Chains A and B, each alone.
Chain A
């Protein structure tokens, strides 16, 4: 993975937000960009590219990438269902939603469907407790989940994938 010229400009713009010599501060924002560019996960190659751009050691990137939950260090499906299961969501039936997704997609927690389409990643509190149960899908939240809504989301993802190919 290598950033395009446009993305490289964005990286420069982010680095300019910090004092001279403190470009390491750009690490997490740039890792988000790299993950997006690399199909939803961070390969060693992608992380090394980021290290080079920020003039820091690869180990400084690895130690950060392994710390933060949002960075995937293994390939994931095209659509990642991050279903919250912490207390407030649990009170509103998130366990049933997770069970339903497992059954419907025939995968276990943390697994990806064989067609590479869906990954189920149980998540800890995402700050949508009043609108539980919920999941994060890409950039946005899907809230007030029911089995019917899960069905509709799966259909929607399949349709989008078909249209994009």
Chain B
């Protein structure tokens, strides 16, 4: 089932004429015959949940938008994709820019945004050109600008390049950055829906979320809600990386089991180089890592599926999260300590420095993990790490603190033996060839996979 990537492989789909020929911009025509409130209702009915990571219902977020008289409102597209393991929005923008523009026009109309901004991470420099070209094409064909299709609705879309900061994916940090400031998250409330960019009511949505508005309007919210499972409606893009045969972008309707997703040729094609599956981080680097046995089956022994509910089955004790859909797969030779160390370095580098638990704690965690990885750790360091992450979680203005704490907690929870091995075998830990995690207890592919 493909909704977003249906035409992804059509030659020239990046350009307006081809995109239009394949049914592009129909949702705008349809939306303009509806009232803004009716569009919000359709999105509510679709059950669409934010695709950036948090999974908050999009229709509900839209309905929170304040509409005070005489105050302009803004839609901001969050294209600051920076969560390690996540590269799906890049694919959408690079190959299907008009799908995003189309979703943005419909959403801008629904929310009453006359100036809509795409805040894109600064490193995606060449994609800025692709988007600006698509915007120019859309404008030349009357889909943007003044009095669009004689509806009296005016809308402009601007691309804003960031400066290289993971934190700007957090919506209030993104707003600060869009205002030309450091990306320090704001204390909520007030929420952006009340006071966002330039203190005006603002909705911030992820690229994939806004692209999904197109099939929702085309087919109706109820039809969209029929796809998927339970509260995981519609389709989700997964960006797969790590040690699989076929890394890349996959669109799924969330009915697949994790086992099918990893091992079938339709998706990841199994583990690369004939190795065995050791562990996986299923939703971007912030979500808990799961060892193979808990990944494929829940703690109750039930099959685990690729959707929001099933991936989080068991809570953090034995489950994980769908998150952003950044699916990181590790083979039997990979070292969980080293991997966790790189993530700790990442969060330490990306902490904005506003809250002490995150600013100091991420640095401590990185230092301790580095010591353990390079054979200079103590057994008590493992408990110290646990203590630090526990004191970061929930004690910061924004979720970066949690995002930094969870990977460390989960790595210790499920792979404590590897941390202990590093401490107990310092010479080997220091001298071993990179990638040769011979101490790892290899987990076999379950029968039938």
Residue in B closest to A26 when the chains form the complex, CB atoms: B180
**Residues 350-366 of B contacting A (Cβ, < 8 Å):** 350, 352
* B373–chain A nearest beta-carbon distance, Å: 11
> Across the interface, do B241 and A132 meet the contact criterion of CB distance under 8 Å?
yes
Decide yes or no whether A52 CB sits under 8 A from chain B: no
Decide yes or no whether A139 CB sits under 8 A from chain B: yes
Check A87/B342 contact, CB under 8 A, given A132-B241, A139-B126, A140-B126.
yes
Chain B: residues with Cβ within 8 Å of the partner, total of 59
Decide yes or no whether B346 CB sits under 8 A from chain A: yes
Which of A102-110, A121-129, A156-164 makes up part of the contact surface?
A121-129
Partner of A70 from B123, B180, B435 at Cβ < 8 Å: B123
| B350 neighbours in A (Cβ, 8 Å) | 124
> Across the interface, do A127 and B121 meet the contact criterion of CB distance under 8 Å?
yes
> Across the interface, do A67 and B179 meet the contact criterion of CB distance under 8 Å?
no
> Across the interface, do B85 and A129 meet the contact criterion of CB distance under 8 Å?
yes
> Across the interface, do A88 and B84 meet the contact criterion of CB distance under 8 Å?
yes
Partner of A91 from B83, B124, B156, B328 at Cβ < 8 Å: B328
> Across the interface, do B328 and A129 meet the contact criterion of CB distance under 8 Å?
yes
Residue in B closest to A125 when the chains form the complex, CB atoms: B84
> Across the interface, do B434 and A92 meet the contact criterion of CB distance under 8 Å?
no
> Across the interface, do A88 and B181 meet the contact criterion of CB distance under 8 Å?
no
> Across the interface, do B180 and A24 meet the contact criterion of CB distance under 8 Å?
yes
Partner of A129 from B84, B115, B164 at Cβ < 8 Å: B84
Chain A interface size, under 10 / 10 to 19 / 20 to 34 / 35 or more: 35 or more
> Across the interface, do A64 and B330 meet the contact criterion of CB distance under 8 Å?
no
* A27–chain B nearest beta-carbon distance, Å: 4
> Across the interface, do B346 and A124 meet the contact criterion of CB distance under 8 Å?
yes
Which of A4-12, A28-36, A111-119, A146-154 makes up part of the contact surface?
A28-36
> Across the interface, do A85 and B121 meet the contact criterion of CB distance under 8 Å?
no
| B162 neighbours in A (Cβ, 8 Å) | 28, 68
Check A17/B158 contact, CB under 8 A, given A67-B165, A129-B87.
yes
Check A28/B126 contact, CB under 8 A, given A124-B350, A128-B87.
no
* B77–chain A nearest beta-carbon distance, Å: 14
> Across the interface, do A95 and B434 meet the contact criterion of CB distance under 8 Å?
yes
**Residues 190-241 of B contacting A (Cβ, < 8 Å):** 198, 239-241
> Across the interface, do A19 and B198 meet the contact criterion of CB distance under 8 Å?
yes
Check A129/B179 contact, CB under 8 A, given A124-B346, A124-B350.
no
| A90 neighbours in B (Cβ, 8 Å) | 338-339, 342
Partner of A67 from B163, B249, B339, B346 at Cβ < 8 Å: B163
Decide yes or no whether B81 CB sits under 8 A from chain A: yes
| A54 neighbours in B (Cβ, 8 Å) | 180
Q: How many Å lie between the Cα of A25 and that of B76 in the bound state?
A: 14
> Across the interface, do B334 and A91 meet the contact criterion of CB distance under 8 Å?
yes
Check A91/B82 contact, CB under 8 A, given A19-B198, A28-B161, A124-B166.
no
Decide yes or no whether B285 CB sits under 8 A from chain A: yes
> Across the interface, do A68 and B328 meet the contact criterion of CB distance under 8 Å?
no
| A129 neighbours in B (Cβ, 8 Å) | 84-87, 239, 241-242, 247, 326, 328
> Across the interface, do A25 and B180 meet the contact criterion of CB distance under 8 Å?
yes
> Across the interface, do A28 and B121 meet the contact criterion of CB distance under 8 Å?
no
| A69 neighbours in B (Cβ, 8 Å) | 163-165, 349
Decide yes or no whether A2 CB sits under 8 A from chain B: no
A70-93: CB near B (< 8 Å → 1, else 0) gives 110000000000000111101111
* B79–chain A nearest beta-carbon distance, Å: 10
> Across the interface, do A139 and B125 meet the contact criterion of CB distance under 8 Å?
yes
Decide yes or no whether A39 CB sits under 8 A from chain B: no
* A43–chain B nearest beta-carbon distance, Å: 17
Decide yes or no whether A44 CB sits under 8 A from chain B: no
| A87 neighbours in B (Cβ, 8 Å) | 84-85, 281, 285, 328, 339, 342-343, 346
Provide a sorted-by-A list of 22 A–B residue pairs whose CB atoms are within 8 angstroms.
A26-B180, A28-B161, A67-B165, A69-B163, A69-B349, A70-B164, A85-B342, A87-B285, A87-B346, A91-B241, A91-B330, A124-B84, A125-B82, A125-B346, A127-B86, A128-B90, A129-B86, A129-B242, A129-B247, A130-B87, A130-B239, A139-B126
Given A17-B156, A24-B180, A32-B161; 17 other pairs, CB 8 A cutoff: A19-B198, A22-B179, A25-B160, A29-B160, A67-B182, A68-B163, A68-B183, A69-B163, A87-B85, A91-B334, A124-B350, A125-B85, A125-B346, A127-B81, A129-B84, A130-B241, A139-B125
* Interface, chain A (partner B; CB < 8 A): 17-19, 22, 24-29, 31-32, 54, 56, 60, 63-64, 67-71, 85-88, 90-93, 95-96, 124-132, 136, 139-140
7 closest A-B pairs by beta carbon, nearest first, are A68-B163, A27-B180, A70-B164, A129-B241, A69-B164, A130-B247, A24-B180
